[in-house]
Amino acid sequence: MTRSPILGAEGWHTLTRAPEIASLPDPQLPPESWASSLFTQAGTALDATVLGAMRIAVDALLMPPPERLDELRASASPLLDPALQREPARFFAFEPPPRPFAKVDHDWRRLAGGDAVGRALRSGYRPWDAAGVGASSVTDEWILFEHWVHRRQPARGTLVGLHGFAMGRPRIDALVLFANEWFARGLDVALLTLPHHGARTPADARFSGERFAVPHVTNLAEAVRQAMYEIRLLVDWLRETTDAPVGLLGLSLGGYLSALAASLWDDLDFVVPMVPPVCMGALAWRFFLMSRRYRDGLPPAFSQQELRASFRIHSPLAHPLRVPRERALIVAGRGDRIVPPEHPHALWEHWGWPSIHWFSGGHLAPFGRGRIVEAIDLHLERLGVL
Encode pLDDT of 274-285 as tens digits.
999 999 888 887
pLDDT by residue (tens digit) across 87-96? 999 999 887 6
pLDDT over 90 percentage in the chain: 46
Q: Average pLDDT, stretch 212-236?
A: 90
More confident residue, 317 or 299: 317
**What's the one-letter identity of residue 250?**
G
Question: How much is the average pLDDT of 50-54?
Answer: 68
| Choice between 357 and 308, residue whose per-residue pLDDT is larger | 357
- Residue 105 reports pLDDT greater than 80: yes
For 24-44, what is the mean pLDDT? 72
| Residue 67 pLDDT exceeds 80 | no
What's the pLDDT at 335?
83
- Residue 369 or 236, more confident: 236
Burial of 140 (0-12, 13-18, 19+ CB in 10 A): exposed
Q: Is the pLDDT reported for residue 9 higher than 60?
A: no
Calculate the alpha carbon distances from 83 to 15, 79, 364 in Å.
10, 10, 39
Q: What is the pLDDT of residue 17?
A: 43
Q: Cα angle at 45 between 308 and 23, to 5 degrees?
A: 20
Please give the Cα distance from 266 to 272 (Å, whole number).
14
Domain ranges of the chain: 51-382
Using alpha carbons only, what angle is made at residue 200 by residues 174 and 328, rounded to the nearest 5 degrees?
A: 45
CATH fold for the domain made of 51-382: Rossmann fold (3.40.50)
pLDDT, tens only, 243-264? 999 999 999 999 999 999 999 9
Own/partner pairs, 232-237, CB within 8 angstroms, 24+ separation: 232/94, 232/261, 232/265, 233/97, 233/101, 233/121, 233/123, 233/143, 234/121, 234/143, 234/145, 234/160, 234/190, 234/192, 235/160, 235/265, 235/268, 236/101, 237/101, 237/103, 237/121
User: What distance in Å separates the CA atoms of residue 23 and residue 245, rounded to the nearest whole number?
Assistant: 36
Mean residue pLDDT of the chain comes to 83
Q: Taking the CB of residue 57, how many other CB atoms lie within 10 A of it?
A: 13
Assign 286 a pLDDT band (cuts: 50, 70, 90): confident
pLDDT at position 1, please? 29
